[in-house]
Amino acid sequence: MNAPPDAVVVREVGLRDGLQILARTVPTAHKIAWLRGAHAAGLREFEVVSFVPPKLMPQMADAAEVVAGALALPGAVVSVLVPNLKGAARALACQPHAMLMPVSASHAHSLANLKRTPDEAVAELAAIAAARDRHAAESGHRVKLEVGISTAFGCTLQGRVDEAEVLRLVQAALAAGADEVGLADTVGYADPEHVKRLFTAARAAFGERIAFGHFHDTRGMGVANVWAAWQTGVRCFDASLAGLGGCPHAPGASGNVATEDVAYLFASMGVPTGLNLPELLRLRGDLAQWLPGEPLHGAIARAGLPKTLQPAEVSA
């Protein structure tokens, strides 16, 4: 127990998962300022946009500009969400480091979200992987392909989601060309024992290719679930500044687990993240100004840092 613990990567997904659910459209300049502030606070991985049709989601109409802004940050690893082959083609033209395609473990959620069954989504993924390979051959730039298994812990539409079905889809996604897979609690149904059990099973079967966890804090279990997945060896977690996002069906409920709370969890445990907590909290103040009236979430911003965690210690 004397070796320093592995570093953890916190990936800021607020610009994608947080903003896509808001009614308002955030100006590109604020998105770039958010990215710069996050970078200054030590964040290096960002999921910045979703390549959905701008007609459906005007919040993401500036996707290409935002990707370019993120790529300009030194050392940034930039990923984008692509729901289908069409979106992947637009994404590849922007040369991000990674594309993430969601595959729902819930049949009902898959139909509602992607208008495809889970197996049809995996077939689309194979087509995206082929496009990615062609693009790599032509450009010399290989874009990493990630899959997030959505609703892996339950679904607001169908209720329970079978763990065997999650593992089957992980296997299918890897066979279809995904480099890495994460398990996502899209709707905030997971509890920490469930997280521990499912990540343990998935990592036993697929090893390090089960690479990240994505947890919503809708019902207050977000931090516990991050810690649960961390105990199974996962070292990358999605999070959103101020827990931005929420759910249209649960007024007041938070969205993704808050970046600053995840940063605080790991700082408290002595796990290096490279994040500077006071800087994150300052950026949260900026966000409040950019999104007047929008409910922000997260615990550490309310209470402040404890005496045992001095600024020198939080910037590991």
Q: Which residues bind its own copies (CB under 8 A)?
A: 154-156, 159-160, 187-189, 191-194, 217-221, 223-224, 227-228, 247, 250-254, 258, 261, 264-265, 268-270, 298-300, 302-304, 306-308
The C-alpha atoms of residue 126 and residue 111 are separated, in whole angstroms, by 18
Q: How far is the CB of 287 from its own copies (least distance, A)?
A: 17
Task: Give whichever of 8 and 82 is closer to its own copies, judged by the CB atom.
Answer: 8
Minimum CB–partner distance for residue 310 and its own copies (Å):
9
Nearest to 182 by CA among 76, 260, 256: 256
Judge contact between 16 and 47, C-beta under 8 A: yes
Q: Say whether 94 is catalytic.
A: no
CA gap 107, 294 in Å, rounded? 32
Give 208 or 313: the residue with its C-beta nearer to its own copies: 313
Nearest CB to its own copies, comparing residues 199 and 264: 264
What's the rounded Cα separation, in Å, for the pair 74 and 87? 26
From residue 211, give the alpha-carbon distance in Å to each of 37, 76, 202, 264.
26, 18, 10, 21
Sign of the CA dihedral running 194, 195, 197, 201: positive
Q: How far is the CB of 298 from its own copies (least distance, A)?
A: 7
Closer residue to its own copies (CB): 51 or 264:
264
**Dihedral sign, CA of 147, 144, 283, 226?**
positive
Please, what is the minimum distance in Å from the beta carbon of residue 167 to its own copies? Answer: 18
Among all residues, which ones are annotated catalytic?
A: 247
